[in-house]
Structure 1
């Protein structure tokens, strides 16, 4: 008899749907790779359910992740903590166009700047979006970021997939400024940036990058290399 994985099926479905969307896969594509019915994959994303160990493993393989990540068992584990599944991962530099495409969806990044000469840089996580090729985020009027602006600032975004030993990192370096001109109304109308932290965060910061660099780490498939 197969041993089912019980638990919060809603959370499992949410993670399956999120990972499928990240990879840009259809229900049919996931189902084919996991040897499942497409209708069941769609059902699993929206309803509580259970999977056998074998089915969970096949689904994780189809989504290029691990069973633990689909179950949420590793949410407290630091990214990159486990040994990589790829025995000999490679590194490939990314073009500016590739970097912009990777960070375009927005999410969480890290703003880095030096408050005073000779001091260590401050690195703060913020929710951001991309507007006209510039990084944009909201902050508090009396916060350390607003006090530093205008001024030089770097912004770093990365993604790590422990299940497939793949990842990328993008670094944008330029100058930050408070948006208080005609572009402010357009930002508020067309971009939704909801900071995780509470409090009033009505100041919009824009980083116009002077230089964007990045790199991708992983196996041949992740780096776009031909295995033949």
Structure 2
């Protein structure tokens, strides 16, 4: 049964805390990803000599079908991943406000903490620095560490678990995309879906909401800091 507030006893075994980055560690209404989204549209438009409207359709189709726009462009057009990542993450991080409450909650969690992102380390570090939470994480597992195979591919989760010696049965994953929680659930992880503020269902692309009420999701919250604080405050 899906719950909105953590039951502390259900997390007693957890000592590995795994967080997605974009629209998870910062709320969707921050809109940081809109800058990346626009940069990706520009990249596709230039690469394929398309008007922006057509380029955006291609971009979103690749995102849906390949897990990320990058993966689609690599598979279909053989682009240089590093060039793409550098260009699309050339954004203004001042949009992200510091979140000391979230930082304190993450710091207080028992065990190791990870950022697991389809972006790159540089983007993760800059975002976490803007939030004021970077120092509370043990490792960042990015798209390059994943050998450029993005979530939700099962082999990417397997690689993450293997590289960092994480026992899925003692881990929890926080994500904003329901489909990215299917594999973690099958690996024995607790799963927490992060949704927009006040559970607004306007979550970007329609397909991104698919599975949001699935059995692979244990918890749903629109406030990550409050969720973690409630867990910490109710521990035995």
User: In which range does the TM-score fall when normalised by the shorter chain?
Assistant: under 0.3
Specify which structure has the bigger relative contact order, considering alpha-carbon pairs within 8 angstroms and separated by 6 or more residues. Answer: 2
With normalisation by structure 1, the TM-score equals 0.25
Instruction: Please say which structure displays the higher CA radius of gyration.
Output: 1
More helix per residue:
2
With normalisation by structure 2, the TM-score equals 0.24
More strand per residue:
1
